[in-house]
Structure 1
Amino acid sequence: MASSRRDSSPRRTSTNHPHSHSSSTTTSTSAITNRQLSHLNSQIAQLQANLSDFNDLLTTSCDQYKNIEMLGKIHASIFMASRKVFEEEDALVQGNTNGD
């Protein structure tokens, strides 16, 4: 009879507290979930801020690209114009030299 009391005693103990243990686990799980969701929310806010900054940088880069392209065109046209001027000047100098 003593052995049956020992066997039933642990069962009573474990069956007396399942709701309080489950409630504690649910509260703990709920707290962890809330903490994780809060952390995820802050990460999403940081991602949104980073994407906004990235968008601003891309817009600035596009504007700079257009300006650099225009600068290249101006540089090329000045180079071609100076070449023509120097060729004409060289032709005049050679014409004056041959004429003397």
Structure 2
Amino acid sequence: MKKLLLFFTLCMFTSCNNTAVKKITDSLSNSNPDYAKNLATAKKLFELHGEEDIDAQLALVSKDIESNTSVYGSETSNYDQYVAMLKGYHAAF
């Protein structure tokens, strides 16, 4: 019984160690030289979305955008469809 309790205690402390997860996330963030710039752009895009500043949002988006929504079965949208989606969202909410 003592060995079983010791085993579960060790398992618990081992599972709390997220070093492997940190290594994976660090390697992903370091694999793209533009990661910090892209992250700042994405954060700004979401901030502007909350403010419903569509002109500033569109200034951050390429005319060659291919937008994929989370709607099941939806197809990839182009720039004009993306703009229409944003305008519709802002009008509805």
Same fold (TM over 0.5): no
Normalised to the residue count of structure 2, the TM-score between the two structures is 0.31
